[in-house]
Amino acid sequence: MSLGLGLNMAKTKVSGVSFDADAQAFIDAASITDATQKDAINTLVIALKDGGVWVKSLALYPMVGGTAAKHKFNLKDPRDLNAAFRLTFFGGWTHGANGALPNGTTAYADTFLVPSVDIADANDGHLSYYSRTDNIGSYMDIGCSGLSSSFDLSCKFTGNIGVVAINMADSNTFAYSGTTNAFFIASQNNVNDVRRMFKNGVLLNNSSVAQNVNPDNSIAVGARNSGAARSFFSARECAFASAGLGFTDAEMLSFYNAVQAFNTSLSRQV
Amino acid sequence: MIIVYKLTEIQKDIIINKRFDSDQYFNPIQDIDNNWIISKEEVDQSLAIWGWVKNLPAIEWKPKPEFL
């Protein structure tokens, strides 16, 4: 919107540089002062909006800034509140310039995003995890379960299987022996019973599994949250994670391109 | 071999869901022998007020089996 005074209400003028207002809000909340990080965040937000990803995402965690205090913020809503899906870190995380590394034993982060409450349609959802680690283990990188349903993603699980579940009675597993240092997106886009896993913007698996309800526990980053306990603690360094509604194929590719460009700007791409 | 640090039941009750630094919380869990443990990262990063956790006995991490 323009006021006719040369002012653009969608941007904030800071030291002669105009940033997207949402990017600036995150930068301010997370106290990001590094110029490279600020530029990368701004470019990321613009790309996510242009690609149709922003409007469909409820929580976007860029893991930028190097500390738990900065990594906790949700790019989509950077208020320091559970209601804003701000992360709370539990257990043994190691935070640094490359992201947040869970220890595979006790570490997880609560998003406070509950699929049964925050995502209206059980046929519509996504999870993503940018892993900088290539390994295998009984790791659930992001997700939850409840009401006999799972909503989770594992880049690769023990036994060389990929795991993707978007409101399913059982986690959908498929044979996968490839690398795990990549950007994985699990998505269902209002096509009944079809769950898809993408790796670096390319379809990895497309499966038809019976529809179930949204789980009633909050999504965890770095583990599966089953309410009474967390399980399958991951040991994969996270350089981005997200949750929200499902994507089209074009949006999936836009999402990958935006996040990959973001991490490349920060010299931590895989 | 992964090293973790063993807690008594009382110690677990003291630290569970408490901040160990400005923005992170302890998460004690049980191993295969039902010992309560916390990780090396939690011990190493904990603030001075939690100095006693640095004197916890170190044991080998033996996880409970988990299945999908």
Residues of chain B with C-beta less than 8 angstroms from the C-beta of A106? 4, 27-29, 37-39, 41-42
Q: Which residue has the higher pLDDT, A8 or A149?
A: A149
* A window 102-131, beta carbon within 8 A of B: 103-108
Residue with tokens 């003028």: A13
> Contact B38/A163, CB-based, under 8 Å?
no
- Give the integer Cα–Cα distance in Å for A246 and A92: 31
Looking at this protein, which amino acid is placed at residue A113?
L
- Its pTM stands at 0.94
What pLDDT was estimated at residue B68?
A: 81
Query: Which residues of B fall within a CB distance of 8 Å from A107?
Result: 27, 39, 41
Counting DSSP H helices and E strands in chain A, the numbers are 5, 19
What pLDDT digit, counting tens, does each position of A85-109 carry?
A: 999 999 999 999 999 999 999 999 9
A68 contact B CB<8A:
yes
Q: pLDDT, tens digit, for every residue of B26-67?
A: 999 999 999 999 999 999 999 999 999 999 999 999 999 988
Give the model's pLDDT for residue A7: 42
Considering CB atoms only, which of A106, A170, A230 is closest to B38? Answer: A106
Q: What pLDDT is stored for residue A170 in this prediction?
A: 72
Subunit contact B41:A94, Cβ cutoff 8 A: yes
pLDDT value, residue A241 = 98
Mean of pLDDT over chain A: 92
Return the structure tokens found at A256: 């990958």
Q: Which residues of A touch B29 (CB under 8 A)?
A: 91, 105-106
CB of B60 within 8 Å of any CB in chain A? no
Q: Phi/psi class of residue A249: alpha, beta or left (left: φ > 0; alpha: ψ in -120 to 50)?
A: alpha
Q: Are A63 and A93 in contact (CB under 8 A)?
A: no
pLDDT single digits (tens) A210-261:
778 999 999 999 999 999 899 999 999 999 999 999 999 999 999 999 999 9
- Please, which pLDDT band fits residue A168 given cuts at 50, 70 and 90? confident
